[in-house]
Structure 1
Amino acid sequence: MQAAPAATAAPAAGDNPYGLFQALHEGGVISWSVFIILVIFSIGTFYILFTKWLQQQKIMNQGNKVRANFWNSPNLREASTKLEAKSAYRSIVDDALVAQDQHGKLTDPIDQHDWMASSLARSQGGISNRLGEGLAFLATVGSTAPFIGLFGTVIGIYRALIKIGASGDASITTVAGPVGESLIMTALGLVVAVPAVLAYNWLIRRNKSIVEDLAAFTNDVHGYIMSGGNVKPKMMAASAAPAVKAPAAAPIKPAGDPVNR
């Protein structure tokens, strides 16, 4: 007669009455709402992380191409054809060429240096704004997800207190479900917030590096135009230095040189 309770208790022991979906079922609409919001936040975080990484990597690859062969061209217009049509660096060069053409059409004279500098700054600012798109969402998720999870925690504790008050029983069996639900919501909030904060900081650091490279390239383009093509980046001068100094090394005097007579 004692075998029957053991047999009926065995299946119950195999089930977990305090799992995620059991907690959501007990929590009702509020728990499901919190869970769905956190899932949306998590999907949005990884989507932005992936897309922004692709965008940043593309610009970095374009920067490598610029450093490799852009300044070897005889003029800026020909050099721009070496860049991708919709690349960030191509956009800066095209805007510089447009600004150069527009300066001659101005009816109110303005210094070409100031006109070119403002045009290039506007072009670079547009690229920086596009790089920053989506990062505000990551910052929002990182700052609000723990509080959304905390809201689910508060609701779970409130439900536990309601059960205790209604039944007058404060045993672990009575409060385990609502308290477990509250802890799950807290954990979900942290699981969503931590990747968002890490992704935000990582993308911000990469954006800073990209903007610095774009600023250097913009300054090089500005100097090139203002000097009529005479001023180029230092790396061009460094690469040309050995070719200039090589012929001057170890001069050989001809046999008919007056000094040897």
Structure 2
Amino acid sequence: MDGLHWWRQGDAVTQISALLLLAMSVASWVVIVWKALLMRRARRDAVRAIAAFWQAPSIALAAERLPAFDRDGLVMPLVQAASAVAGANPAPATLAARGSLSQQLTRGLRDALHGVLGRLQFGQVLLATVGSTAPFVGLLGTVWGIYHALTAMAGAGQITIDRVAGPVGEALVMTAAGLTVAIPAVLAYNVFGRFIGRTEADLEGFARDLRELVLDEAGIAPTATVND
């Protein structure tokens, strides 16, 4: 009943702030649970897929074996990009086709790597936004609630500590709600960031080695790197 009383007493700003915090909390927890499952599986599968690739006798056979290990498609796009560039023989009608095999491999692997990392980083912006804005949304609800509570009590005449403590205490709940929403989002953002960083390093190293392998099979000395 106390919560319902606080909700009925609050105006549109207070109610919108509370609903916004609720939406932030639900969205961030959905992302946290989903990314926790994804990160745990992706980290393990990336290591297994890279190991399976190097144990294969050829790139073509490795591409056939990878789907069994690479369930989230982290390594396979890199292999497909390298195979597409190595097997293509287009007419030099575009600037991209006029580049050397080394340049085309660098461009293709870089684009594929960016696509994979984009999927791994999906949801990070949401967690960062919730973690940075939720405390201020809660503070807004607190300040607005205290202002209206004091205004209402001032119009009622005599003010006592008993009459102030209840409404002000209810308003301060908004600050606690904002912190409750923000803290898990910030912690999850930092933890997932570390996992993404480790996986990114593994994929960048694999892309670099794959590029050198394709160039070596073509009899071309490697020059630039994937990150150049």
With the shorter chain as reference, the TM-score category is 0.7 to 0.9
Matches within 5 A, 1:1-261: 19-84=2-67, 87-102=73-88, 104-107=89-92, 109-228=98-217
Per-residue deviation, 1:28 = 4.1
Q: In structure 2, what is the equivalent of residue 243 of structure 1?
A: none
> RMSD of the alignment, in Å?
2.0
Instruction: Give structure 2 stretches of 5+ with no counterpart.
Output: 220-228
Which shifted more, 207-216 or 26-35? 26-35
For 2:91 and 2:159, the matched residues in 1 are separated by 83
1:194-240 C-alpha deviation (Å, 9 max, x unpaired): 1111111111111111111100111111111111189xxxxxxxxxx
> 2:151, 2:72 → 1: CA distance?
61
* 8 Å CA contact retained: 1:160, 1:174: no
| Structure 1 pair 149–58 and aligned structure 2 pair: CA distance change class (3 A) | same
Q: Percent identity between the aligned chains?
A: 32
Larger C-alpha radius of gyration, 1 or 2? Answer: 1
1:81 counterpart SS class = helix
Give 1:105's aligned amino acid.
Answer: P
Structure 2 distance, partners of 1:189, 1:69, is 46
Unaligned runs of 5+ in 1: 1-16, 231-261
CA distance in 1, matches of 2:27, 2:208: 36
Name the SS for the 2:65 alignment partner: coil
Q: Secondary structure at the match of 2:145?
A: helix
Instruction: Tell me the residue number matched to 1:259.
Output: none
How many residue pairs get matched? 212
Separation (CA, whole Å) in 1 of partners of 2:165 and 2:5: 12
1:109 Cα offset (Å):
3.9
Once the 2 structures are TM-superposed, how far is the Cα of residue 86 of structure 1 from its aligned partner?
5.7
Corresponding letter in the other structure for 2:10: G
* TM-score between the two structures when normalised by the length of structure 2: 0.85
| TM-score calculated relative to the size of structure 1 | 0.75
